[in-house]
Chains A and B, each alone.
Chain A
Amino acid sequence: MTTDDFLASADFAQFLDETLREAACKAVEVYLGQNPDPRYRAKNNQLRKIPEVIAAEGRQGLVNLARNQKEKNSYRVNKSFWEFVWRILEKPEDSWSLYRVAQQTIEQRKDFFNSLDPQQVKAVMKKGREELIKMALPVYFEHFCCEYLFRRSQE
C-alpha cells in the first residue's frame, strides 16, 4: 500500500475520526491544565481565526499566524495560546501534537516501505507525513476548537 492508498482508505477515515480526535482533546486538556485559571485562558474569539486561516492558507498560513501572534500579540494570555498552537504544528516532542501523531502513523505503516531501499525510506516518510498533516489539519483543529469551546462551557 502506498501513502496515497492509505490516505484514501477506511483506516485513514477511522484515524481522523478517533486517533486524531483523541490527540486534539488531549491537547485541550493539557492547555487547560497549564492554564487552570479560566480568566487567563484564550477567549473563544481567538479560535475563530484558526479554520479561516487553514481554509485560506493551509498549514503554513496557520504556522505563520501562530508565530506572529506568539511573538507580537500584546496580551500575555493570547501569546501563550498561540505558542501552544505553534507547538501543535511544529513540535514532535508532545504526544498530542499533530506533527507527532502524523509521524507515528506513517512510521507504523511498514507496508509503505517494503520495496524501498534505506535512502528512499526517509524521503517517503517525510512526504507521507506532510501529506497526512495537510489532510488532517482542518479536522484536528475542528476537534480542538469544539473540545475547547465545550470544556469552557462546562466550567
Chain B
Amino acid sequence: MTPPTQSGLELDRESRHKIDLYLEDIYGQAKQIGESLAKAKLKQAQMHGLETIVSSTTRFSEILNYIKNQAGKEKSGAEAGPWRGYALTMLDQLKGIEDKAKELGGEDSAKILDCKLRLVRGWARQVATSYRYAESLKK
C-alpha cells in the first residue's frame, strides 16, 4: 500500500487503489532502470542521493531537476556515465507518472501534487530495490 505523503492529505481509497495498480503496471520498467543503473556502475551513494531527494522533497519537479543535474555533471566521453546514459529513460517514466497524477487529480491541484509524490516515491522504491538486488548478484 502506498504510504501518505508529507502533505498529510487524506487521499480517497479509490485513488490510492489506482495508484497501486499503476505502480504494478510500471514495475517492469522501473525494475529495468534499476538493473541498468547497477550495470552502468552507479554508486550506492548516488542511489541513496536519489532516494533522499525523493523522500524529502515536496515538489515533484525537484526530482526531475535532480536527475537532469546529475546527468549534466557527468563528464562527456566515449562511455556515458549512468546518469547520462539513463536520465532520458527515467524522465520518460516520470512523465508517465505526472500524466497519471493529472488524470487522477482532475482539476484539484492539491490532489495532483499528492498523487505525483505518492507515485514517484513508489517508483523510486522499485528502482532502488531492483538496483540493490542487481548489485548483490555481482558479489
The answer to whether A and B assemble together is yes
Q: Is B37 an interface residue (CB 8 A)?
A: no
Please classify how large the interface on chain B is, using the bins under 10, 10 to 19, 20 to 34, 35 or more: 20 to 34
Known: A13-B109, A153-B87, A154-B84. A18 touches B61 (CB 8 A): yes
Q: State whether A11 touches B109 (Cβ < 8 A).
A: yes
Query: Which of A11, A139, A153 lies in contact with B74, CB distance below 8 A?
Result: A153
**Residues of A contacting B: mostly:** helix
Render A117-155 as a binary contact track against B, CB cut-off 8 A, 1 for contact: 000000000000000000000010011011111101110
Render B47-66 as a binary contact track against A, CB cut-off 8 A, 1 for contact: 00000000000111110111
Known: A9-B109, A14-B109, A14-B112. A143 touches B72 (CB 8 A): no
Known: A10-B113, A13-B113. A150 touches B71 (CB 8 A): yes
Q: Is B13 an interface residue (CB 8 A)?
A: no
Q: State whether B110 touches A10 (Cβ < 8 A).
A: yes
Query: Which of A16, A149, A154 lies in contact with B88, CB distance below 8 A?
Result: A154
Complex formed: what's the CA distance from A147 to B59 in Å? 16
Q: Is B68 an interface residue (CB 8 A)?
A: yes
Residues on A with beta carbons closer than 8 Å to the beta carbon of B2 = none
Query: Which of B65, B108, B110, B113 lies in contact with A146, CB distance below 8 A?
Result: B65
Query: Which of A9, A13, A16, A149 lies in contact with B69, CB distance below 8 A?
Result: A149
Q: Which 4 A-B pairs have the closest CB atoms?
A: A149-B72, A150-B68, A10-B110, A146-B65
